A and B are shown apart, each in its own frame.
Chain A
Amino acid sequence: SQTIHQWPATLVQPVGSPLSLECTVEGTSNPNLYWYRQAAGRGLQLLFYSVGIGQISSEVPQNLSASRPQDRQFILSSKKLLLSDSGFYLCAWSAPFGELFFGEGSRLTVL
C-alpha cells in the first residue's frame, strides 16, 4: 500500500535561518506531489505542485522554493525564514485520477 512521510514533525527556527522539509512517498510511482501551508485556524494554501521530476509549479510568490530530485521525493526549502512563514506544512500526493492523501504535517514556528 502507499504511504507518505514527511519530516521533521516540528521545528522552531530563528528569523533569517534556512529551512528544509522533506517528503517521500512509497508504494507508487510518478505521483503528483503538493506542498500546502496552513496558518493557525486557517484554510489550506497550495504552495507548490509537481507532476514529475524537476517539474515544479508555484502557486504563491514567496521566499519558499520546492524541488523534486527523485520521483517520490519532494523538498520544501527557504534560504531565509520570515516570521510569516510560521505554520503547519502539509505534503500531499495523488495518483492520476486518484484521491489526494496528506502527510502527517510539519509544524514550523519562526521566532
Chain B
Amino acid sequence: GENVEQHPSTLSVQEGDSAVIKCTYSDSASNYFPWYKQELGKRPQLIIDIRSNVGEKKDQRIAVTLNKTAKHFSLHITETQPEDSAVYFCAASWSAGNMLTFGGGTRLMVKP
C-alpha cells in the first residue's frame, strides 16, 4: 500500500517569510495529491491539490510542486501571515475520490 512521509513535523517562521513543507510517497501509481489545513479544534479543509499531469499549481500565496520521478511533492506558502498558523497534511491516492493516505502533519507557527 501507499506510504506518505511528511517533513518537518513542526515549522516556525517569522511573519512575511516563506514556508515549505515536503512529502514523499511510495506508490508510483499515485496520481492525486491534495493538501489540507487544520486549524486548532476544527476540521481539515482542502486548500490546494495537484494531479500528476502537472508539475506545479499556484493559488495566490500557496503553491504546490510535484516531482513524479522522485516521488515527492511540496507545499510552498509565501508572505506568511499569523492566520496561516495551523497543521498541514499532505495526502496521496490513485485518483481523486479514492482512499487517501495522509502524511503525519506539519504544525506551522507564524510569529508576528
User: Taking beta carbons and an 8 Å cutoff, which residues of A are in contact with B?
Assistant: 32, 34, 42-44, 46, 49, 90, 94-105
Contacts and interface: CB of A to CB of B under 8 A. Distances in A.
B99 A46 contact: yes
A97 B98 CA distance: 7
Enumerate the 10 nearest inter-chain pairs by beta-carbon distance, A residue then B residue, closest first.
Answer: A102-B43, A97-B97, A43-B104, A96-B97, A44-B102, A43-B105, A98-B97, A94-B97, A97-B96, A105-B43
Contacts of A99: 34, 46, 49, 96
Given A44-B102, A100-B34, A32 B46 contact: no
B45 interface: yes
A44 B89 contact: yes
Nearest to B1: A59
Given A101-B46, A105-B43, 14 more contacts: A32-B99, A42-B104, A43-B102, A44-B89, A46-B99, A90-B44, A94-B96, A98-B96, A98-B97, A99-B34, A102-B45, A103-B43, A104-B43, A105-B42
A105 B41 CA distance: 9
B100 interface: yes
A42 B103 CA distance: 11
Interface string B82-112: 0000000101000111011011110000000
B30 to A, nearest CB: 14
A32 B44 CA distance: 17
Contacts of A105: 42-43
B59 to A, nearest CB: 14
Interface string B52-72: 000000000000000000000
Contacts of A32: 97, 99
B36 to A, nearest CB: 8
Contacts of A100: 34, 46, 91, 100
A99 B44 CA distance: 12
Nearest to A4: B43
Given A44-B102, A100-B34, A95 B97 contact: yes
